[in-house]
């Protein structure tokens, strides 16, 4: 298994939302380390990687959201290491700002070098606010959209669709028509974090095909969604050949990591990934154990396998860390 990239996450910034499908299952508080300490470690780690493993891609991110006084510094650092957050930011979960504050915030990130931003809408106003877990979030995102458009930033909109909100998608597009949105990205929610709690809300093929054409056109043609039963009948499970590893900084591990050379950290992450995947049964066995051959839920094959692995790990995981859990060290194989 070839390691092709290394990421560092420092979950040191709290989020203003409690979204129902949160990738990081955020429920308050943070698990990262002080921003300045995390950045110093990451600079040293990546500088060493540049010398000993220049073949590896690098990525760095903070959060649960981007609402920190150190944001401009973070953006500049991401630009230096070639991380996407040097020019692109997701703006979900920020503290609610009035119109003037939104303009100031957008102006600051534009001056720091941000060229495009993404906002996630879960439906129309009342439903969106319930899904996001706070009143006023919809209107706040609209103010950010206004400010970003005025500043000339490229606008992107993400729209997770489930049974509850599928009938709101067309109306949401109407509400956003006044903005120069460059890309709408509709998707069926992921299976990580709290995403698995929405499995019962997944669209069937009939429901998916009943979506208005303008909504269907927002789905990426590069991502394949099929009913669970069809994935099982196809039986063509992936055989990954490469992996991206991510290191999660916490108060419990930062002292040790600061004393460990970069090559040792990479070796540690690779060993964790190998242990986890050696524990898991092959996809065919997981599918036979947990799959529903008559299942009509539409999903990506990736998310179907994540669900099966989560269920198996819950029954048999033992003391091996879950490398699908993005709240700690994790890996993505491809």
Closest CA to 276 of 299, 231, 253, 243: 243
Closest CA to 31 of 12, 9, 7: 12
Amino acid 19: pLDDT: 97
Amino acid 191: pLDDT: 85
- For residue 282, the number of C-alpha atoms closer than 13 Å in the C-beta half-sphere is 7
pLDDT by residue, tens only, the chain of 334 residues: 999 999 999 999 999 999 999 999 999 999 999 999 999 999 999 999 999 999 999 999 999 999 999 999 999 999 999 999 999 999 999 999 999 999 999 999 999 999 999 999 999 999 999 999 999 999 999 999 999 999 999 999 999 999 999 999 999 999 999 999 999 999 999 889 999 999 999 999 999 999 999 999 999 999 999 999 999 999 999 999 999 999 999 999 999 999 999 999 999 999 999 999 999 999 999 999 999 999 999 999 999 999 999 999 999 987 899 999 999 999 999 9
Closest CA to 15 of 72, 88, 92, 109: 92
| Joined tokens for residue 246 | 């991510």
Kindly state the helix (H) or strand (E) to which residue 6 belongs, with its residue range: strand 2-10
Kindly report the pTM of this predicted structure: 0.95
Kindly state the helix (H) or strand (E) to which residue 186 belongs, with its residue range: strand 181-187
Closest CA to 211 of 172, 155, 182: 172
């Amino acid at each position: 298994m070839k390691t092709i990239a290394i990421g560092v996450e420092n979950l040191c910034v709290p989020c203003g939302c409690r979204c129902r499908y949160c990738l990081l299952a955020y429920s308050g508080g943070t698990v990262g380390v002080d921003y300045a300490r995390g950045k110093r470690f990451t600079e040293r780690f990546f500088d060493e990687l540049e010398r000993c493993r220049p073949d590896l891609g690098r990525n760095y991110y903070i959060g649960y959201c981007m609402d920190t006084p150190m944001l401009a510094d973070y953006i500049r650092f991401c630009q230096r290491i070639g991380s996407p957050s040097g020019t692109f930011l997701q703006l979900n979960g920020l503290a609610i700002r009035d119109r003037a504050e939104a303009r100031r915030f957008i102006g600051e990130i534009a001056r720091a070098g941000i060229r495009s931003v993404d906002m996630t809408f879960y439906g129309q106003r009342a439903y969106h606010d319930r899904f996001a877990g706070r009143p006023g979030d919809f209107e706040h995102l609209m103010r950010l959209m206004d400010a970003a458009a005025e500043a000339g930033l490229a606008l992107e909109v993400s729209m997770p669709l489930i049974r509850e909100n599928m009938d709101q998608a067309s109306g949401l597009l109407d509400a956003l028509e006044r903005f120069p949105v460059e890309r709408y990205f509709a998707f069926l929610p992921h299976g990580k974090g709290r995403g698995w709690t929405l499995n019962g809300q997944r669209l069937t093929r009939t429901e998916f095909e009943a979506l208005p054409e303008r909504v269907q056109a927002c789905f990426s043609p590069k991502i394949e969604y099929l009913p669970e039963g069809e994935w099982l009948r196809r039986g063509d499970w992936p055989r990954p050949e490469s992996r991206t590893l991510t290191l999660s900084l916490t108060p419990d591990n930062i002292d040790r990591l600061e004393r460990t050379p970069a090559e040792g950290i990479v070796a540690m992450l690779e060993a964790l990934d190998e242990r986890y995947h050696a524990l898991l049964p092959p996809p065919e066995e997981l599918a036979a154990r947990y799959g529903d051959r008559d299942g009509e839920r539409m999903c990506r094959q990736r998310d179907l396998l994540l669900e099966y692995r989560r269920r198996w790990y819950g029954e048999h995981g033992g003391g091996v860390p879950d490398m699908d859990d993005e709240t700690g060290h994790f890996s993505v194989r491809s």
